[in-house]
Amino acid sequence: MRSSLSALLLACLSALPATAEQLTIDRVVASPALSGAAPRGVEFSPDGTRVTYLERAASDASRRDLWAYDLKQGKPVLLLDSTEFAAVPESEEERARRERQRIPETGVTEYVWDNQGLAILVPKSGDIWLKPLTGPVRRLTRTEEAETDPKFSPDGTHIAYVRAGNLYVQSLSTGVERAITTDGGKDAILNGMAEFVAQEEMDRDTGYWWSPDGKSIAYARVDESKVPLVNRYDYGADGVKVIPQRYPFAGGPNVAIRLLVAPIDGSAPPVAIDLGSDPDIYLARVNWKPDGGLAVQRISRDQKRLDLLFADVKTGRTRLALSDTQSTWVDLHKDLYFLADGRFIWSSEQSGWRHLYLHDRHGKRLHAITRCKWPVKSLAGVETKTGIVMFTAHREGPLETHVYTARLDGRDAGSPRRVSQGEGWHGAVLADAGGVWLNSFSSPTQPPQLSLRNRDGQVLTWLQENKVEGAHPYAPYRANHILPVYGTLKAPDGATLHWSMLKPPGVDAANPAPAILYTYGGPTSRVVTKGWGGRTSLFLQALAQSGYVVFMLDNRGTPGQGKAFLDQIYNAFGTIESDDQALGAQYLKTLPFVKGDRIGIYGHSYGGYNTLMSLLRHGDLYAAGVAAAPVSDWRLYDTFYTERFIGMPDAKGGVYDRADATKLADKLSKPLLLIHGMADDNVFLDNSVRMAAALQQARKPFDMMFYPGERHGFYDTNLAAHYFLSTKAFFDRELMGR
């Protein structure tokens, strides 16, 4: 397999033109995007005749437009050019929502179909817009305050949205608006909105749910009054903007949350759903069931127990359908699918690996749909007529994701059928009617593709083949593209640690090069995969083409290798990750083509924290480090994420102290560049300020680069370029001696 792949790659590369351009940082962030169209937000239309997606504008990679691919005609149509909207800046609510959803682009950033497949809703510039399949876009709201999260009623006659902490419904035929709630925005009350940690950490960006008959809405009522109100200072070139923000610091109070169901016509008062006697819980998920009841996922404050409750919306009474428990933590998922008869699919890690199970309508587990020692990644859909379940999983190992089908009756639970083709990173969206599915795919040599496939995985239509040839933006750089090599190391306990490396051409024992170890290392993401990556991966490619060996390693405590591998980070922040990264640095020192005394380390967000702890705990292995947007003291981060992995500060003071980078400031012995966006609303600037203060008190020199107006993701093109250029300039000075 490897020999065949290598031969194929060599054949492809030999066919490339003799001259090629070297990748630069300026080109990495410029337009058109080097990854090509890279569609996002891919959906089938409700009638299955079209596929809609958001595509980067060719003239401006920072903006996305809405496209529809007509499956009958076999061609894409620009459905909504984002320049059609009024030239109004996006609202603060929209910007914060994009940040939570990790959407770097502006323009059309989200959309929602009606159930009839006739029209689409788009929130933009603080208002709601309606785009029929035929005809011009129509503005539905025109208010000073911003509307967000619009949704059609199931029958398509009404829309709902949130404004200033209240939930509203508007008739599409008359334009008449009705408030479902009126107490929002007062005394820190939010109705129909997902609170900060729900959006940032729970992958829940909505706070209301239409009933299947369209006559009522379930909604969350959030009371933030006990959550600390902090002032975030958005420093910009033209002054300082003070933004008050409710932020639930680890160990502190969370929101008080209720779930209610209200008729949209106001004919009866809302019914409160019983969420139990413990008020200190998280509302994780809400779904309507086929019988008209609610399925509510409730997770405990310590996140060791996840309950699935079934609720009667007329009385508000609930019963416990099932519970998932762990001695460490239970990870949330979206793998809940109800069949028409009330049975449902649910995923669990009780076996040590995430797998899919069929339950009866009361919650009793019937049988496994998948099993074995590899994890399911996510449920993609169910073809109810044939009893086929589609899902993605890491059966081939954590570096790849593939698409599989298994039978609902569990007959092939141990041997599901793989329907994706090609080594790399696959995703799937199954059509509601079944029979066909959308396959997203990328690899180290192929930017994201999108295709329509049949049950067997054969291509029916390419929606975005995105080949790197001809006029593709990356075509001029392909000949110089450095292919990653992969390998493994063994942790002290025998666990397998996967690594990848970009080795510049011409680098060998006679001409060794400095190395940069790029890290993340946190429990929610990997850096070593056989996918294309994105902007950061292209930046690393540019570093490699400029002469650096670039090395990445996924330490214990990262996902994709089972619950036991992941759980090793429990109560161990700052230790096990930096210890495993140290194994990577030690391995680099054994390579004859690496300058062992010129190894740098770099990371962003959790990777920035991992960089700090690596320099402070294993400084003898590194020559320099760049820590971008790092947490420095986990008492400064949010409840849901922090407490999931290291508990409460008052109960685990020793764990928090061991994980506190500021307490190790006197251990810094190598050059450090500290980078942070001054408007970061996720990892507050306070983290880097406190780290800087601790280093200054310890009389440790360091470099610092703060970015006015920038948040956590560095989405501004010029600031992203400056960030990358500053990182490279620092390493050029410290590792190259330039």
**DSSP assignment of 653-678:** HHHHHHT-GGGGGGG--S-EEEEEET
Run of H or E residues at 148: strand 147-152
DSSP 293: -
Judge whether 208 and 167 are in contact, CB under 8 Å: yes
Instruction: Return the amino acid letter for 448.
Output: P
73-77 long-range Cβ contacts below 8 angstroms, 24+ apart: 74/461, 76/463
Judge whether 536 and 604 are in contact, CB under 8 Å: yes
389-394 long-range Cβ contacts below 8 angstroms, 24+ apart: 389/345, 389/356, 390/419, 390/428, 390/430, 390/437, 391/356, 391/416, 391/428, 392/426, 392/427, 392/428, 394/560, 394/561
Measured CA to CA, the distance from residue 299 to residue 321 in angstroms comes to 14
Catalytic residue among 114, 234, 680, 716: 680
Whole-Å CA distances, 395 to 135, 158, 525: 46, 44, 18
**DSSP H helical ranges for 362-463:** none
Judge whether 381 and 430 are in contact, CB under 8 Å: yes
Judge whether 288 and 209 are in contact, CB under 8 Å: yes
Nearest CA to 727 among 714, 634, 362?
714
For the beta carbon of residue 368, count every other beta carbon within 10 angstroms: 17
Measured CA to CA, the distance from residue 208 to residue 166 in angstroms comes to 11
Length of the chain as a residue count: 738
605 noted as active-site residue: yes
680 noted as active-site residue: yes
Determine the Cα angle at 428 with ends 426 and 429, to 5°: 160
> Treating both helix axes as pointing N-terminal to C-terminal, what angle do 606-617 and 576-590 enclose, rounded to 10 degrees?
70
What are the tokens at 538? 């292209």
Measured CA to CA, the distance from residue 470 to residue 545 in angstroms comes to 22
604 noted as active-site residue: no
What are the tokens at 224? 């933030």
Whole-Å CA distances, 437 to 425, 501, 571, 729: 16, 34, 41, 46
Determine the Cα angle at 113 with ends 310 and 135, to 5°: 160
Catalytic residue among 324, 712, 716, 726: 712
Catalytic residue among 45, 216, 348, 605: 605
Question: Phi/psi of residue 337, each to 5°?
Answer: -140, 120
DSSP 544: H
Instruction: Return the amino acid letter for 387.
Output: G
689-697 long-range Cβ contacts below 8 angstroms, 24+ apart: 690/632, 690/633, 690/636, 690/662, 691/612, 691/630, 691/632, 691/661, 691/662, 691/665, 693/662, 694/632, 694/661, 694/662, 694/663, 694/665, 695/665, 695/668, 697/665
Nearest CA to 500 among 446, 447, 550, 566?
550
Give how far the C-alpha of residue 362 lies from the chain's centroid of Cα atoms, to the nearest Å: 32
**DSSP H helical ranges for 125-231:** 196-200
What are the tokens at 230? 């902090």
Q: Which residues are catalytic?
A: 605, 680, 712
